[in-house]
Structure 1
């Protein structure tokens, strides 16, 4: 795997993991007075950095910010569960890519014998 793809994969896994943590916090604190739900943003910056080099990808910030359009104390459980499901699917897909890459490396190191 080339360095940029490797960096994108690592940053995406970090961002998706952080998003799951934030979603869990949103769900856990849904009934807490004054709690403001948060969201994680990184995809747009990652997409832009991926067209450059691995060091720019590594420098992409994973930002946590308030959910736009929701008042303090208002957690939309339906949206949180949907986002958790989508995030888990993306994370699983990324792990699948990583696993296939490791398998290809293992075969290459083994002289082509699986």
Structure 2
């Protein structure tokens, strides 16, 4: 995997990790009075950084979700939060499997098997 791809996967995993933390935080505080939910956005900045071949400059950034979420339980819909958590976990699994496969190939190449 070229360095650019490794850096991109690493930054995507960082963003997904931040999103998973924010989603867990939202779910845990669902019924808390005065709680303001958060969202994490990184896809657009990752895409722009890739166009410039600089994925190391990508940072996962929280965005103000209170303005964009419907007024339900604490400003959140529990079903959508759980769906987002599931989607994030699936994306994380795909990226870690990709990285694992590439590292296996590198290991085989270093051993002279490939």
TM superposition score normalised by structure 1: 0.91
Shift of 1:70: 3.4
Partner of 1:47: 47
Question: Do structure 1's residue 105 and structure 2's residue 106 form an aligned pair?
Answer: yes
Counterparts of 1:17 and 1:81 in 2: how far apart (Å)? 15
Counterparts of 1:60 and 1:25 in 2: how far apart (Å)? 22
Unaligned regions of 5+ residues in structure 2, if any? none
Counterparts of 1:66 and 1:77 in 2: how far apart (Å)? 18
Counterparts of 1:13 and 1:61 in 2: how far apart (Å)? 11
Cα RMSD between the aligned structures? 1.5
The answer to whether the Cα contact below 8 Å between 2:30 and 2:76 also exists between their aligned partners in 1 is yes
Moved more, 44-53 or 82-91: 44-53
Unaligned regions of 5+ residues in structure 1, if any? none
The answer to whether the Cα contact below 8 Å between 1:36 and 1:71 also exists between their aligned partners in 2 is no
Partner of 2:29: 29
Shift of 1:71: 4.4
Counterparts of 1:38 and 1:70 in 2: how far apart (Å)? 13
**After superposition, what is the alpha-carbon deviation per residue over 1:6-53, rounded to whole angstroms, capped at 9, x for unaligned?**
111000000001100000000000000010111100001101211222
Question: Do structure 1's residue 88 and structure 2's residue 86 form an aligned pair?
Answer: no
Question: Do structure 1's residue 74 and structure 2's residue 72 form an aligned pair?
Answer: no
The answer to whether the Cα contact below 8 Å between 2:69 and 2:75 also exists between their aligned partners in 1 is no
Counterparts of 1:64 and 1:85 in 2: how far apart (Å)? 19
SS in 2 for 1:32: coil
Question: Do structure 1's residue 18 and structure 2's residue 18 form an aligned pair?
Answer: yes
Shift of 1:74: 1.5
